[in-house]
Chain A
Amino acid sequence: MNKRMKKVCENWKQAFPTENLGEHLFPEFEKRTTQASTELFRVKTAIEAQEIITNLVKFTNAKKVVAVDSPLQNAAGINEQLRSMGVDVYTDPYDIAEHAESADIGISSVEFGIAETGSVCMDGFSFESRLVSMLVPIHIAFMNSNNITLGLNDAFGIISKVYDRGYVSFITGPSRTADIERVLTIGVHGPGRFILIAIDEEVAGGAN
Chain B
Amino acid sequence: METNNRNIRNEINEKLGDDVLRGALGRFAEAYPIARAKAYENVDNSEAIRDEFRDMKIHTVNNIEKYADEFEASAKKRGAKVFRAKDGDALKKYLIDLCNEKGVKRIVKSKSMASEEIHLNHALEAAGLHVKETDLGEWIISLAGHKPSHMVMPAIHLNKEQIAGYFSKELKQEIHTDIPFMVQVARQNLRKEFLLADMGISGANFGIAENGAIGLVTNEGNARLVTTLPRVHVVIIGYEKLIPKITDAACILRMLPRGATGQLMTSYMTMVSGETPVMVKQNGKWVEQEKDLHIIILDNGRLKAAHDEKFKEIYQCVRCASCLNVCPIYTLVGGHVYGHIYAGGIGAILTALLNSQEDFDKINELCIGCRKCVEVCPGKINIPGLIDLLRSQTVKEKGLPFGVKLVFENVLANRKVFHNLLRLASIGQKPFTTGNVIRHLPLFLAGMAKDRSLPAVADVPFRDRVAKITKKIAKPAKRVAFFAGCNTDFVFPETGEAVYKVLQNLGMEVIFPEDQSCCGKPLLGMGDRDIAKKIIKRNIIAFEEAKADVILSSCPTCTETWHETYIEVFADEPEWKARAEKLAHKFREFTSFVSEAYDKAGRLTPAAGGTKVTYHDSCHAKRGLGIYKEPRALLDATAGYELVEMKDCDKCCGMAGAFGIKYTEISMPILKQKITNIKDTGAEIIAVGCPACMMQIQGGLDKQAPHIKVKHIAQLLADKIKD
Residues of A within 8 A of B (CB): 6, 32, 35-36, 93-94, 97-98, 101, 114, 116-119, 124-128, 130-131, 134-135, 151-153, 155-157, 159-160, 163-183, 185, 187-191
Q: A117-B264, A119-B265, A119-B269 are in contact. Are A189 and B288 (CB under 8 A)?
A: no
Q: Is the CB of B153 within 8 A of A32?
A: no
- Bound-state CA distance A151–B251 (Å) is 11
Q: Is the CB of A32 within 8 A of B228?
A: no
A164 to chain B, nearest CB (A): 6
Q: Is the CB of B156 within 8 A of A190?
A: no
Q: Is the CB of B266 within 8 A of A159?
A: no
Question: Please, which residues of chain A bring their CB within 8 A of the CB of B343?
Answer: none
B32 to chain A, nearest CB (A): 10
Residues of B within 8 A of A (CB): 24, 27-28, 31, 42, 78, 134-137, 140, 153-156, 158-160, 163, 179-180, 182-184, 186-187, 190-191, 194-195, 210-213, 219-222, 224-225, 227-228, 245-247, 249-250, 253-254, 261, 263-279, 286, 288
A117 to chain B, nearest CB (A): 4
Q: Is the CB of A93 within 8 A of B250?
A: no
Question: Please, which residues of chain B bring their CB within 8 A of the CB of A164?
Answer: 78, 211, 273
Name the residue on B nearest A155 (C-beta).
B250
Q: Is the CB of A189 within 8 A of B134?
A: yes
Question: Please, which residues of chain A bring their CB within 8 A of the CB of B180?
Answer: 185
Q: Is the CB of B187 within 8 A of A182?
A: no
- Bound-state CA distance A191–B261 (Å) is 20
Question: Please, which residues of chain B bring their CB within 8 A of the CB of A116?
Answer: 42, 254, 264
Question: Please, which residues of chain A bring their CB within 8 A of the CB of B268?
Answer: 169-172, 175, 190
Q: A170-B265, A174-B267, A189-B134 are in contact. Are A134 and B246 (CB under 8 A)?
A: no
Question: Please, which residues of chain A bring their CB within 8 A of the CB of B263?
Answer: 36, 172
- Bound-state CA distance A156–B208 (Å) is 12
Q: Is the CB of B277 within 8 A of A101?
A: no
In the complex, which of the residues B222, B261, B272, B286 contacts A94, with contact meaning CB atoms closer than 8 Å? B286
A59 to chain B, nearest CB (A): 19
Q: A166-B273, A175-B221 are in contact. Are A188 and B179 (CB under 8 A)?
A: no
- Bound-state CA distance A189–B275 (Å) is 24
In the complex, which of the residues B195, B253, B254, B278 contacts A101, with contact meaning CB atoms closer than 8 Å? B195
Q: With a 10 A CB-CB cut-off, give which of A94, A169, A174 has the most chain B CB atoms.
A: A169
Question: Please, which residues of chain A bring their CB within 8 A of the CB of B212?
Answer: 165
Name the residue on B nearest A98 (C-beta).
B286
Question: Please, which residues of chain A bring their CB within 8 A of the CB of B261?
Answer: 178
Q: Is the CB of A131 within 8 A of B228?
A: yes
Question: Please, which residues of chain A bring their CB within 8 A of the CB of B140?
Answer: 179-180
Known contacts A173-B267, A179-B136, A190-B224, then 19 further A-B pairs from the complex at CB < 8 Å, ordered by chain A residue: A93-B288, A116-B42, A127-B276, A131-B228, A134-B228, A135-B225, A152-B250, A163-B271, A165-B213, A166-B273, A166-B274, A171-B267, A172-B263, A174-B267, A177-B220, A181-B24, A187-B184, A188-B186, A189-B191
- Bound-state CA distance A43–B221 (Å) is 28
Q: Is the CB of A172 within 8 A of B265?
A: yes
Name the residue on A nearest B39 (C-beta).
A117
Q: Is the CB of B273 within 8 A of A163?
A: yes
B269 to chain A, nearest CB (A): 4
Question: Please, which residues of chain B bring their CB within 8 A of the CB of A97?
Answer: 279, 286
B30 to chain A, nearest CB (A): 11
Question: Please, which residues of chain A bring their CB within 8 A of the CB of B279?
Answer: 93-94, 97, 127-128
- Bound-state CA distance A106–B42 (Å) is 32
Question: Please, which residues of chain B bring their CB within 8 A of the CB of A98?
Answer: 286
CB pairs A–B below 8 angstroms (23 shown): A36-B265, A36-B267, A101-B195, A114-B265, A127-B228, A130-B224, A130-B228, A134-B221, A134-B224, A152-B250, A163-B271, A164-B211, A165-B274, A166-B272, A166-B273, A170-B270, A172-B264, A173-B267, A178-B219, A179-B220, A182-B31, A183-B179, A189-B225
Q: Is the CB of A126 within 8 A of B267?
A: no
In the complex, which of the residues B24, B183, B213 contacts A185, with contact meaning CB atoms closer than 8 Å? B183
Q: Is the CB of B183 within 8 A of A187?
A: yes
- Bound-state CA distance A89–B460 (Å) is 90
- Bound-state CA distance A173–B184 (Å) is 18
Q: Is the CB of A175 within 8 A of B269?
A: no
Q: Is the CB of B254 within 8 A of A6?
A: no
Q: Is the CB of B182 within 8 A of A168?
A: no
Name the residue on B nearest A128 (C-beta).
B279
Q: Is the CB of A127 within 8 A of B277?
A: yes
In the complex, which of the residues A6, A32, A160, A183 contacts B264, with contact meaning CB atoms closer than 8 Å? A32
Q: Is the CB of B286 within 8 A of A189?
A: no
Question: Please, which residues of chain B bring their CB within 8 A of the CB of A152?
Answer: 250, 253-254
- Bound-state CA distance A110–B671 (Å) is 52
A77 to chain B, nearest CB (A): 28
- Bound-state CA distance A165–B274 (Å) is 6
A134 to chain B, nearest CB (A): 5
Q: Is the CB of A170 within 8 A of B245?
A: no
Name the residue on A nearest B52 (C-beta).
A153
- Bound-state CA distance A178–B253 (Å) is 20
Question: Please, which residues of chain B bring their CB within 8 A of the CB of A125?
Answer: 276-277
Name the residue on A nearest B187 (C-beta).
A188
Question: Please, which residues of chain A bring their CB within 8 A of the CB of B184?
Answer: 187
Question: Please, which residues of chain A bring their CB within 8 A of the CB of B253?
Answer: 152
Q: Is the CB of B78 within 8 A of A165?
A: yes
B342 to chain A, nearest CB (A): 18
Question: Please, which residues of chain A bring their CB within 8 A of the CB of B266?
Answer: 172
5 closest residue pairs by CB, A with B: A190-B221, A179-B137, A117-B265, A170-B269, A160-B246
- Bound-state CA distance A54–B210 (Å) is 45
Question: Please, which residues of chain B bring their CB within 8 A of the CB of A174?
Answer: 267
A145 to chain B, nearest CB (A): 20
B163 to chain A, nearest CB (A): 6
- Bound-state CA distance A164–B75 (Å) is 11
Q: Is the CB of A175 within 8 A of B264?
A: no
Q: With a 10 A CB-CB cut-off, give which of A32, A36, A130, A187 has the most chain B CB atoms.
A: A130
- Bound-state CA distance A142–B277 (Å) is 23
Q: Is the CB of B27 within 8 A of A172?
A: no
B280 to chain A, nearest CB (A): 9
In the complex, which of the residues A134, A151, A185, A187 contacts B179, with contact meaning CB atoms closer than 8 Å? A185
Q: Is the CB of B195 within 8 A of A181?
A: no
Q: Is the CB of A182 within 8 A of B271?
A: no
- Bound-state CA distance A82–B158 (Å) is 45
In the complex, which of the residues B42, B183, B272, B277 contacts A126, with contact meaning CB atoms closer than 8 Å? B277
Question: Please, which residues of chain B bring their CB within 8 A of the CB of A175?
Answer: 219-221, 267-268
Name the residue on A nearest B257 (C-beta).
A117
- Bound-state CA distance A6–B288 (Å) is 12
Question: Please, which residues of chain B bring their CB within 8 A of the CB of A153?
Answer: 247, 250, 254
- Bound-state CA distance A128–B279 (Å) is 9
Q: Is the CB of A182 within 8 A of B27?
A: yes
Name the residue on B nearest A176 (C-beta).
B219
Question: Please, which residues of chain A bring their CB within 8 A of the CB of B182?
Answer: 180
Question: Please, which residues of chain B bring their CB within 8 A of the CB of A178?
Answer: 153, 219, 261
In the complex, which of the residues B134, B179, B269, B274 contacts A181, with contact meaning CB atoms closer than 8 Å? B179
Name the residue on B nearest A134 (C-beta).
B224
Question: Please, which residues of chain A bring their CB within 8 A of the CB of B134?
Answer: 189
Q: Is the CB of A118 within 8 A of B265?
A: yes
- Bound-state CA distance A125–B24 (Å) is 41
A125 to chain B, nearest CB (A): 7
- Bound-state CA distance A128–B24 (Å) is 41
Q: Is the CB of B277 within 8 A of A189?
A: no
B246 to chain A, nearest CB (A): 4
In the complex, which of the residues B159, B187, B247, B265 contacts A189, with contact meaning CB atoms closer than 8 Å? B187
B267 to chain A, nearest CB (A): 5
Q: A156-B246, A166-B276, A169-B224 are in contact. Are A180 and B183 (CB under 8 A)?
A: yes
- Bound-state CA distance A164–B394 (Å) is 47
Name the residue on A nearest B216 (C-beta).
A169
Q: Is the CB of B271 within 8 A of A169?
A: yes
B161 to chain A, nearest CB (A): 10
Q: Is the CB of A190 within 8 A of B136?
A: no
